[in-house]
Structure 1
Amino acid sequence: MECIDIYKSIVDTVDNVKTPFDILYAVTLVNFTPNLVLSAYLGLIKLKTYNGDVNIGFLSGYMIRIMYYLQDFAILFVPAISSGLMAHQVKELLNRLQNRLLQERSEDHAATIELFISYVSARPLELTLYDVIKLDWSLPIAIFNLCVTYQIVVVQLTHMY
């Protein structure tokens, strides 16, 4: 029963910080996503005006821009990737509990394991943003697709190429 109490306290703690986290992460997504599109657009402008001369100024400026772009991506998606890792660990826990249940000989221990499995299944540790957007590995891909789509729209509207 101690394991159930520990898991319950972890899930309760996550539930307690969910509302402030949702607000802060939503604001971060809304602010950083257009910044990613703008950074890519400015990189395209710099690349278009590049005259072919290989100089240290151009390369260092371009590398710094790429580093800022990667930093924005990391800031934006570390919570989503961490949430995906937590959900994966809960699934691994359920698998191990199922395997342990198959090997258990004592009926008391088996009942406790079944209770723990049912509790973890009822309260999985999966985070969502406002109960709409699932925070896992698919969020960075979705935001990247959104940025690419809007980058294409911006390039077409500005007649850059």
Structure 2
Amino acid sequence: MEDILSLRGDVPVYRQVKTVEGPGKRHSIADVCRPDTSKKEADRTAESSYLGKLFMGKPLPEGTRFTLIVNETPFADLYPFACERGGKREPVSSATHAKVVGKLAGLSLRDGRDVGWCVDRLDVLITARTTEHVASEAHRRLVPLIKDYLGQEPLVTEVDEVLSGLARDPDAAGLRHPIDQVH
């Protein structure tokens, strides 16, 4: 997770990048409001959640915005916060707003602000991984396998050849879904 601060004039825009790896994993309100389970039980509070960390301990002047940047389409309950880069999101229902505020109850924020004020200024930006990200991850995972097979560090061209071969023939690596193999 990475925190980013950018400024639009004198107004802060706080951003937090949260990526998920693996199929079927998506963010929800419960997920982004869940206290950090790696902390000691006494420290598992709303402050340790993704949104708690995004909202806490920062100056909150008028005009402040918060952006949670994710690499997947979130579950339906979090999706109302989604917006396009540089765009403005639609208003969030009072039930969705109340759900987030309730899960983050007890946060003590600066400048006399409350959680609801922060939630009103929260956007979720969905940014899919680029081709370069996917290729880089494929290389990272393939290099150790090819090294084991060759008994030495592979050349970049050798890794590219394996990757191209897998792309041409997914059956060779068992990459096709079993249902696709019936046809």
TM-score, structure 1 normalization: 0.23
- Bigger relative CO (Cα 8 Å, ≥ 6 apart): 1
Query: Which one has a larger percent helix, Structure 1 or Structure 2?
Result: 1
For normalisation by structure 2, the TM-score amounts to 0.21
Larger radius of gyration: 1
Higher strand share: 2
